[in-house]
């Protein structure tokens, strides 16, 4: 359920990359300028930034420098048509974790994104077990009381968030931040609808509601 910010000024490429990453289960936000991306990074946390270098106004080099100056610690994967080795070295020296030359195959981009995220979280659990509930993050598979439960992408992301915060109350605001886009309408009932559907699929036995506070899964959490 990693959150990824795409900073790319070419509309078709930006849309293509965003759609591919959303299909892989990531939460994606997009910007076409460095300045607006920095504003978002200052207000919201992202696990990875996909950064073009040749941006209008504040270019990618300046974004890298300003992220360091302002203490914005999201990892950065540069994707650029500037392909000479000197620029690759410069980007890595300025703090990027990887450099992908354009044009690229979308499969390679997804693989590099996953590799960058693994570097950030080398100890991340891949399997959760709470009572009769099992979640396999690699296979995106949920088993409850011995039977596989088929969830939508959003339902799986919500359940993963709740289990990762086992025995802690997860607020609606946190669910909106982690599962939906940055500009989610907090006045809508979308989260409540998803929670209702998720509860039904788990026989109304797993998730509890703390009125006015949020949602919680309780029990002994085992990870591996």
Q: What is the pLDDT along the chain (224 residues), one digit of tens a residue?
A: 688 999 999 999 999 999 999 888 888 999 999 999 999 998 888 899 999 999 988 999 999 999 989 888 899 999 999 989 999 999 999 999 999 999 999 999 999 998 888 776 545 567 899 999 999 988 889 999 999 999 998 999 999 999 988 999 999 988 988 888 666 777 889 999 999 999 999 998 999 999 889 999 999 988 87
The C-alpha atoms of residue 135 and residue 1 are separated, in whole angstroms, by 13
Rounded to whole angstroms, the Cα distance separating 16 from 129 reads 35
pLDDT at 161: 92
Q: Report the distance separating Cα 19 and Cα 158, nearest Å.
A: 20
Residues 50 and 46: their CA atoms lie apart, in Å, by: 11
Ordered strands of the 48-51 beta sheet: 27-31, 3-7, 48-51, 75-80, 98-101
Task: Specify the fold of 3-120.
Answer: Rossmann fold (3.40.50)
Q: Where are the domains of the chain?
A: 3-120, 127-223
The whole-number pLDDT of residue 188 equals 86
Domains 3-120 and 127-223 share a fold: no
Supply the CATH classification number for the domain 127-223. 1.10.10.10
The DSSP secondary-structure symbol of 80 reads E
The structure tokens listed for 90 are 């410069």
């Amino acid at each position: 359920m990693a959150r990824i910010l795409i900073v790319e000024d070419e509309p078709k490429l930006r849309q293509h990359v965003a759609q591919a990453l959303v299909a892989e289960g990531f939460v994606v936000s997009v910007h076409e300028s460095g300045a607006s991306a920095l504003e978002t990074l200052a207000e919201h946390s992202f696990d990875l930034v996909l950064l073009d270098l040749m941006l209008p106004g504040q270019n990618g080099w300046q974004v890298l420098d300003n992220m360091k100056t302002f203490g914005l610690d999201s990892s950065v994967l540069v994707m650029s048509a500037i392909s000479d080795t000197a620029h690759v070295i410069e980007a890595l020296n300025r703090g990027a974790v990887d450099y992908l030359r354009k044009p690229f195959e979308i499969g390679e981009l997804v693989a590099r994104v996953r590799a960058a995220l693994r570097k950030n979280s080398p100890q991340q659990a891949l399997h959760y077990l709470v009572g009769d509930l099992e979640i396999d993050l690699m296979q995106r598979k949920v088993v409850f009381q011995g039977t596989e439960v088929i969830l939508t992408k959003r339902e799986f992301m919500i359940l993963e968030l709740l289990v990762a915060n086992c025995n802690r109350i997860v607020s609606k605001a946190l669910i909106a931040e982690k599962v939906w886009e940055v500009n989610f309408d907090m006045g809508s009932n979308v989260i409540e609808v998803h929670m209702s559907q998720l509860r039904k699929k788990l026989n109304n036995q797993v998730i509890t509601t703390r009125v006015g506070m949020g949602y919680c899964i309780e029990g002994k959490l085992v990870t591996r």
